[in-house]
Structure formats: structure tokens, C-alpha cells
Structure 1
Amino acid sequence: MLEPGDERAGRWLRATGPVELVRRLTAGDGPAEQLPGMTAVRLGGYRLRAAAAEPERDLAAVAAAGGRFLCPGDREWPTQLDDLGDARPVGLWVRGRCDLRLWALRSVAVVGARACTPYGAHMAANLGSGLAERGWVVVSGAAYGVDGAAHRGALAAGGATTAVLACGVDVSYPRGHAELIGRMAEQGLVISELPPGSHPTRSRFILRNRVIAALTRGTVVVEAEYRSGSLVTARSAQRLGRFTMGVPGPATSGLSAGVHELLRGEGVLVTDAAEVVELVGDIGDLAPERRGPVLPRDLLDAVTARVLEALPYRGAVEGREVARTAGLTADEALGRLYELHSLGFVEREGDGWRLTRRPTCNEDARRGGT
């Protein structure tokens, strides 16, 4: 009888408790008017929804779908949802055998554009599989595009994934993801604030996003325009003190414009699962150091490298000239030159020294090279 995210009703629920609130909303004249902010128009709306509510039917329907109903205070209730305050869900309908509270403790949301590019789908799938391989639960909204790619990536890696729906857990929406949602109900979790049989609306999609943000340790956005529900999730995560991350795209792509705006603010740029885990994980969960290939000359000590750099690109020079350019004595420069000679960097030419000549492609071919 209460719509998701109804903060006014959340305040009433906190003040009176669920049994008393239902009594006041369904009783005759009097009790409901005592609720702060109640008006005749609002009361009419609540009573209309209350008249259509059939809790026993809903509980039977979710049980038939292999699910259950959770409410605050239950052992399986994820207490981080309490951070939503009066906008906290009244309860959650859940399909799947796994423990929602335990899964939510180590979870990351991956959200983004429905009409994503192949790049966006590739990045979302890589993030999903990479997070799953590292023991993290991937949470998303089961929509087309980025959401579906993230879920599939996690499932392909044999990992854990949770879908937060804007409809009943027994309703496959979008219809094209009926098989995917069924797989998640078998291998992971499918959850919703709405009772079985409920269908999605635009406002329910927006309100669903606050649950995704609150349930997880952080939210990663992969491709989002300026006006995007994914950015609503990210902003909710920021307000709740969760980590907010974005995967950059081409500067010319409108589908990445919202992500780039997020990154100009408090969002953190990430490119793979290791960088996400470094941010949301425990101490010591560090991403590998990123650097280019190590070249043989990178292994030289600073003085020897300076001697090597003193040699011209073409032609030979005497040792004294090398010493002068490198700022060393003649004996020290000569010692370093012999060291470089033994390593194959330089060669003698008469009384001078020169860089080792590298064979051209034609010379390689004549020697049987490739």
C-alpha cells in the first residue's frame, strides 16, 4: 500500500510502527488525520491502494516463485539500506537461495546506458567478470545494455550477481531478459521493493536506483548521457558516502558525456576491476602498477646510462669526448664504455666508440631473421 521511496509514510512508519500505521490508514474517520502532513487527498490515495492490497496473496505468489519477503530486523536484512533513512524500503521481495545480507557486504554496482555502444558493453562485461573473479557481487538493474552485460560477465565467470528490479520479482522486465533474470534467480539473487505481479513505471525505475546505491559499497558508471538514470544512482551513492566511479569514453561520445561530468566532480576514474577493488576493497587490495615495457637500457644505473646518452646517434667519438659530455673523468668513462661494450650497447671503431649498429630489415632477411 506504500510506494517505494515515500519518505512521508516512512516517517509515519517510524513513529507508529507498521501495525498501527495500517490501522490508522484503513480505519474510519479520525486516526489517520492525526498523522503529520496527512490530507484528505493523500488519505484517499493510501486507502485506495490499501483496498487493493492482499498480503496473503503476495506471500503465496513469492513462495510459488521460490522467493521470500524480508523486512528490517530480519537476520537477512542488509542494514546498509537503513542509511536511506525514511526513504528506506519497507521490505524486500527476494528470489534466490543466497543470503542477501552477506552478499551485500561485498558488492559493487555496475550501471550505465541501455543503448550502449559495443565499447560500453565490452567494458561492463569485463568489469562484471573481473569483479566476480575477485569474489565481489555485481549488482545492477537487469536492463538492456550495460546492466545486462555486467550481469552476464559475472555469470560467465561463475560469480555472484544481484538484480534490483523496478517491478515484481516474478515479472520478467525487460521481456528480452527473461532468461537472464531466470538464471540470476537460480545462481544469484533477484530483489525488489514491489510485491509480486507489480509492473514498472518511470518513477519506480528512478526510485529503484537509490536501493542499488545504498546496497553496495560503490557504484561504477559505464556510459551515461547527461540525463541518465545511471547518474541518479551515482549521485545517490555520493549522498550516502559510497564510492562513485566512472569508466571514461571518447571525448566526442554523447553516451560518455555524463560519465565525464561525473569524473570532473567527485567521481574516480577506473578502467578495470582491479582499480575498482583497490578503491572499495580492504587495505592491501591494490591494483597492479601500470607502466610501459621495460627496455634493456632501463636497467642501467644512472652513471652508465649517462655515458650511453653521451654517444652520438651516428659516428664514433673518442673516450675523452664521451667523458667531457657525461661529466666524468676519462678513466671512469672508459670503464663504463667497456661495461656497455660487454652488454652489447656500444662497439669500438678505431680509437673511438660508437653505438652498436642495429641490422636493417634487409640485413635481417639475409641472415635468416624475421
Structure 2
Amino acid sequence: MKSLGIGLIGTGYMGKCHALAWNSVLPVFGDIPRPRLVHLAEANPDLATQRAAEFGFEQATGDWRELIANPDVDVVSITTPNAFHAEMAIAALEAGKHVWCEKPMAPALADAERMADAAKASGKTTVLGYNYIQNPMMRHISQLLAEDTIGTVNHVRVEMDEDFMADPTATFYWKSEASSGYGALDDFGVHPLSLLHYLFGNVSRVMASMAKPFPTRPLKDGTPRDVETFDIASVLFELETGASGVMALNRSAWGRKGRIALQIFGSRGTITYDQERMNEFQLYTTSDRGTEQGFRTILTAPAHEPYNRFIPAPGHGLGFNDLKIIECHELLNKIDGRPSQTIGFAEGLDIERAVHAMAQSHREQRWIAV
């Protein structure tokens, strides 16, 4: 593997997360050349210069097109708001760059399809920012399912709740604009869908309902503006495996900070997991003696690779940014043709189609095939 030149577009929360990953992937894994942090783009040129110095990039620009045109950039990290993903990703692919793009792909399905087409035509590697599938606990759950530990899975329930939209007096901002997408459904509902995709494959049909707990929000001057997105979504679904499922999403759930609660029910047991306790899961199996049957907690440990790359002792715990470092390593593996656990644009399009089928179901109030 050669040393790759990295370009980063966007320097907010996820931009910093990508920068930390690019800076840490070699010290953590040790099996790749050090990435060269070549070019950083931010809408504000002064902020771009500041962030480039903080993150360790050689150059800064206020024009993302300049970054993509840079011949020293091999991989482009895209961490901008959702509405900009398609234009930037397609331009990067057409310029011969690999792309690491945050989720979701794009607010419009047609744009997501164009992104997938551009990726296929370019032959370049694409990875979407579904870092929760990189959790060593999620990998081990996948292994248990493959080993038939809980038998045939017949039902899955998943909830994702946060409270960053829970305050009805909070000022209107871009996540309440229709241009950002549907709301909870594609803003973060794609994360539980990525777990379902990773563990079970695609969703086959859906029935959905969305809700606006606060129909207006104040602008900075206090003028009320109509909220154009839905902060709550409830979905019935069926998996291609034949299992039934329920997904509940809420961006206005006071007290919930980063909850993805997953329950997997099988013919011989159950697995439960909660992202707010991301370093453990619970396992119940009927193979235990009746006198000791019950849920037992499994803590992350060096045996759950690649936890061992970070910490030599069990139970100490990984964090959100660590999952991003793992994702960065998987991206580099994929570029190099090595085995890789990622969701690229082609697979991500399946998730996007599920989201848009859910929105269609809400509009038409009926089951929709994905």
C-alpha cells in the first residue's frame, strides 16, 4: 500500500472526527503507510487556515473544488451537511479520487443513485460513514448469528433516540429544512438501518408513520418558521430473511443522548444491545441449564478484535472516535484490495431506497416494497 494523500471537506464535528481518524490510523493499526494530510477545505477561508493548522493539513482553501483538483489528493473525506454530499462526491469520483462520505448519501434518491453510478463508473473506492458497524461488539454479535447461537431470528426491534431537537424553543436551523431530508428517518435512522443491513441484509417492505412534535420553531429574531422535517418516525418492516421488525426513531426524546437499542429474538435465544453502553451486549440462550438461564453481559475485551489494537485490558471501553479510526482502517484496506467491512455507495443505495420507501409509506399510508 502506498502512502495516500488526504483531502478533507468540512471541519465541524464530523470533520474533526475524520481528521482524528486520519491522524490515528497508523499509530493504532501499524500496518499501513502514514496518510499524508494534504488539503483541507472549509467555506470560510480563515477558518480553513485555522483548522488546517489544528488538524495537521499542509494546505487550506475556501473552495472545495480546488481541493478536488489537487493532484496530490488521493482520498476525499466529505463531512459537509447532507445537501452537499452528491455534488462533492460525484466531482471527486470523476476526478479519480477515492471517497469517504458521511451518511446519509443525499436527501434525494435520484442524487444517491447518481452517486452510486459515478462510483461504479470511476472504479474508485467509496465508503459511507456508518461507523457503528465497526464496533467490536457488533462484529461479535454478527459472528454469534452466523454460528446460529440464538437459532433462527424471527423478530428484530431497533430504536434510535436523541434529544438534540427536544427543546421546542430552540432556534430553527438547517436540520428542520426540507432540503436536509425527511428528518429523523434519514438524518440518523440510517444508522440502525446500517446495523440491520450488516447483520441481516436488506429490508424487503415497510409501513411507516412520521410526526412533527413541534410544527414551528423560532428564527433568531423570534419569528416562528414552519418546521419542514419530521423528528419522529415509527416503522414496521420485514427483512429479506423473512423476519419481522419494528424501528422507532425520535430526535426529540429528552434524556436520550446516543441510544440505538437493538433486540434480536431467535428461536433459541435473544441478543440485546444499546449504543449508549456500546462496550457491552446481553446474551440469553436456551442452551444454558434451566437453573441458570438468564441474560449475561459480555464486555469488550482484547478477544473482540480490533479492540486489542487500542487497549490490552478488557472492560476499559472504546468510544465513538475509536470506531471512526477502525472505519478509516477498513477504508484503507478496501482501497488496497484487502478484506474490508464497509458500506460503499452501492450498498448504501439499498439503505437509501429503504428510507424513501418509508417516506412513501407515510404519504400513502400503506405497505411499500423496497
Shorter-normalised TM-score: what interval? Answer: under 0.3
Would you tell me which structure has more strand in proportion to its own residues? 2
Would you tell me which structure has more helix in proportion to its own residues? 1
Query: With structure 2 as the length reference, what TM-score do the two structures score?
Result: 0.27
Question: Which one has the largest radius of gyration?
Answer: 1
